[in-house]
Amino acid sequence: MIIDCHIHCGLGNSELLTESGITYKNTVETMIQLVKIYKQKGIQALRDGGDVSGVGIILRAISKDSGLIYRTPIRAFYKKGLYGDFLGEHLENTKDGIRKMDALMKETPDFIKIILTGIMSFNEYGVSGAIGLSQGECTAIIDHAHQSGLSVMVHANSPKGIMMALTSGADTIEHGYGIDDDCLHAMRESNVVWVPTLAPFANIAKCSDENPMKKYRKVSERYFRQHQQQVKKANAMGVNIALGSDSGATLVAHGQGTLDELGYLLDCGLTEEKLESIGKRVIDF
């Protein structure tokens, strides 16, 4: 059973976009096609990372009769003024975050998604976007989700951001670029699941000369190789690792991106059996 624990169904679908925004008709047709694509690739379950449109609600409804298991946070939460505007709603402070989470819960998300840090810089290797929430804000928001019976996936890069997510009670760490040994030990001790998303940088690193992303191949190769070594180390330590492709991101195609990620993780020494086991745990959170 192939389970992808991190996709974005609302990204990577240019046919969704019109001059007036996203149309319901086009969205339904596109989500039906996505289900077909994933099923044709032999992928049985998906966990979304959300987007500002909240299109995951439509895919969730379609998937119920398709045999494809699908979970969505609908929209993610990020700190106002920082990275994440295309993925969901901004938060100004703890009170605002709890209020907006309560409003989102009326749409019955399967879990909560928090964007704690930015992405890794393509221009300066190793530099991550700013941490958006304070330790107190992050802890309070995660606690509120847990009290409401929902798990929390946290987008976090850099040692400081990852450690804050871990100590705040995150259930899964998404991406985790720049992760260090202290974070790996904390992750193992807390039994948190890491979803390392190797495919985005790996696929950019091997793109063709005709691709506009070719100017980022060298830095992407560095990110991929460093991340690959940390995944190998984490696996040897007994850290829980799940497959998550970040499909919908640049050069990570829906369906094929999942198989790309599977290949990268197998190269790191993980097994399909272990990935299935951890994936089921994540999907069932």
Q: What is the DSSP letter of 121?
A: P
Distance CA 188, CA 241 (A): 10
Residue 30: its pLDDT value, please? 86
Q: How confident is the model at residue 17 (pLDDT cuts 50, 70, 90)?
A: very low
Residue 26: its pLDDT value, please? 72
User: 75: domain range?
Assistant: 2-283
What does DSSP say about strands 2-7 and 88-91: parallel, antiparallel, or unpaired? unpaired
Whether 15 has a pLDDT exceeding 60, the answer reads no
Domain of 6: which CATH number?
Answer: 3.20.20.140
Supply the DSSP string of 129-196, one letter for each residue: PPP-S-HHHHHHHHHHHHHTT--EEEEE-SHHHHHHHHHTT-SEEEE-TT--HHHHHHHHHHT-EEE-
CB count in 10 Å sphere of residue 48: 30
Residue 73: its pLDDT value, please? 98
Longest dimension (CA), the chain: 50
Structure tokens, 110:
């399967």
Contact 76, 49 (CB under 8 A): yes
Structure tokens, 226:
């460093």
pLDDT digits (tens, 9 = 90+) for 137-175: 999 999 999 999 999 999 999 999 999 999 999 999 999
Contact 109, 73 (CB under 8 A): yes
pLDDT digits (tens, 9 = 90+) for 109-141: 999 999 999 999 999 999 999 999 999 999 999
CA 15 to chain centre: 22
Q: How confident is the model at residue 14 (pLDDT cuts 50, 70, 90)?
A: low
Residue 117: its pLDDT value, please? 98
**Count of structural domains within the chain:** 1
Whether 253 has a pLDDT exceeding 80, the answer reads yes
- pTM listed for this prediction: 0.94
